[in-house]
Homo-oligomer: A and B are copies of this chain.
Amino acid sequence: MHPSGRQAGQMRPIIIETGFSRHAEGSALIRIGGTEVLCTASVENRVPPFLRGKGSGWVTAEYGMLPRATHARGNREAARGKQSGRTQEIQRLIGRSLRAVTDLKALGELCITLDCDVLNADGGTRCASITGAWVALRLALGKLVANRVLQRMPLTGQVAAVSCGLTSAGAVLDLDYTEDSAALADTNFVLSADNRIVEIQASAEHAPFSEDAFNSLFALARKGAGELFEAQLTAVNTAEQP
């Protein structure tokens, strides 16, 4: 059981709303319980310097949190003049996760930037960002295919992410902020719909944890990811239906 009474293997409610952003080629406002992230996909006709003239595109991500997305107001990174190490780590993770399911050659010399901005935070923001970013990316690519900018869909898979943690009461799925703060181990699983691994980040909080515990967390993650894959498809289908 979660401290909140939720079952150990139960996800919080998942809502994915598309089209919130008026200008982006694809967008998803994803809500997982009290966490809410606006994910937008922006298509630009350029590639970073290291790819110029190589016939390949790029997918990258940026992550941010509104100052009052959190319980106590945090500093605005733009005002502080730099992104924190945590922010950079998360946006690198989002970028790698989405590139793992994109055929960059098939994208041609386009760059897609996934902006994930947390409007309300209650744990699991990096996972919600990845899950929502896939929807935004999928919708943007869908438009490029529909408009014949691209010959075929460059996505090679579906990716979603979920956090699991070891609490004093055992392994639980989809930690909220309070649970996350108290967890003995904190893990983020980025998985693909064909049952493979995109990224795993597992961290002991105060003391090392056992391989058995890791395996329990992994099993919960598989379950949670299944629900996320479904919610993603529903959101895409709803957005694209004529």
Interface, chain A (partner B; CB < 8 A): 20-24, 27, 34, 38, 40, 42, 44, 62, 64, 66-73, 76-83, 85-89, 91-92, 96, 100-101, 113, 115, 117, 119-122, 156-157, 159, 185, 191-192, 194-211, 213-214, 218
A204's contact among B76, B86, B113, B198, by CB below 8 Å, is which? B198
Chain B residues near A91 (CB-CB < 8 A): 85
Closest-CB distance, A180 to chain B (whole angstroms): 15
Chain B residues near A159 (CB-CB < 8 A): 208
Known: A68-B40, A76-B62, A88-B89. A203 touches B214 (CB 8 A): no
Chain B residues near A78 (CB-CB < 8 A): 64, 76-78, 80, 82-83, 87
User: A42–B62 contact, CB under 8 A?
Assistant: no
A22's contact among B34, B185, B195, by CB below 8 Å, is which? B34
A-B contact pairs, 15 of them (CB 8 A): A23-B70, A23-B71, A24-B68, A67-B113, A100-B208, A101-B207, A159-B208, A185-B197, A196-B204, A196-B207, A196-B209, A196-B210, A198-B204, A200-B202, A200-B214
Chain B residues near A195 (CB-CB < 8 A): 210-211
Q: Tell me the nearest residue of chain B to A64, going by C-beta.
A: B78
User: B201–A197 contact, CB under 8 A?
Assistant: no
User: A199–B202 contact, CB under 8 A?
Assistant: yes
User: B79–A62 contact, CB under 8 A?
Assistant: yes
User: B156–A207 contact, CB under 8 A?
Assistant: yes
Closest-CB distance, A211 to chain B (whole angstroms): 6
